[in-house]
Amino acid sequence: MPIRFGDFVFDVETRQVWSANKEVRLSPKAFDLLALLIEQRPRVVSKAEIRDRLWPGTFVSESSLPSLVSEIREAIADRRRKPPLIRTLHGVGYAFQRHDEPAAEQSALVAGAPNGWLVGDVAEIALSAGENVLGREGSGIILLKSSTVSRRHARITIDAEHATVEDLGSKNGTYVNDRRVTVPTPVADGNQVRIGSLLFTFRLPQPTSSTETISSPSSLRSRS
């Protein structure tokens, strides 16, 4: 699952880092180091552990690790961040400081209730917190009945801070506001999302008081 930190998206499965729809290039070892630090966040990873993971059984110079850290910081513009994402503990190691979903914000997701909808002329699809995979067939898929929809077409991910749309290598493409999705793309309430030939409006629940319930899909149409 891609992880967002600031204006960057990190995807360990595709070995890619994106910034504002532009891929950030990292050497293989630099990517491996960034993946390790994100995986172990917020724990400090010692220099010895990093060397064992990145260069098992191989002697490397003392400058190799600082060079990789410098490469990552340059690629993600970390030197301009306050505080930086990568924290240096001199003589000890490094730590990634960002929590992708702080515990204090998790309550923004409502357990057991839809946390978003795709509202279209032919269907209203409830979306849950986390990953929602849409496609034509398969286990765990939100089914869309159209010949223009691929078997596993697109993924919509909703967390406490963001919602993103990602195309899964579909034949006919996924679009947000008529722009084809090539990387995980933020989507906001009211945006148009097209999956193959099926056009939807993306909707998020509106804040409610303690005595109110989340808006139903049918009531969302009035907000267009």
Question: Which of the two residues, 29 and 22, has the higher pLDDT score?
Answer: 29
Neighbours of 61 (CB within 10 A): 8
Tokens of 155: 């993924």
Q: How far apart are CA 129 and CA 2, in angstroms?
A: 14
Asked if pLDDT for residue 2 goes beyond 90, the answer is no
What average pLDDT does the structure give for the chain? 81
Nearest to 47 by CA among 90, 105, 98: 90
Question: Which of the two residues, 187 and 78, has the higher pLDDT score?
Answer: 187
Neighbours of 171 (CB within 10 A): 10
Pairing of strands 130-135, 174-176: unpaired
Tell me if residue 163 falls in helix, strand or coil.
strand
Q: Looking at residue 167, what is its pLDDT?
A: 95
Full DSSP string of 125-139: EEE-SEEEEEESSST
Asked if pLDDT for residue 210 goes beyond 50, the answer is no
Question: Which of the two residues, 152 and 216, has the higher pLDDT score?
Answer: 152
- pTM score, two decimals? 0.48
Q: Looking at residue 57, what is its pLDDT?
A: 83
Enclosing H/E stretch for 71: helix 64-75
Q: What is the dihedral of CA 67, 69, 93, 58, to 10 degrees?
A: -50
**Using one digit for the tens of pLDDT, what is the confidence trace for 34-69?**
999 988 888 889 999 999 999 998 888 888 899 999
**Using one digit for the tens of pLDDT, what is the confidence trace for 117-132?**
999 987 788 888 788 9
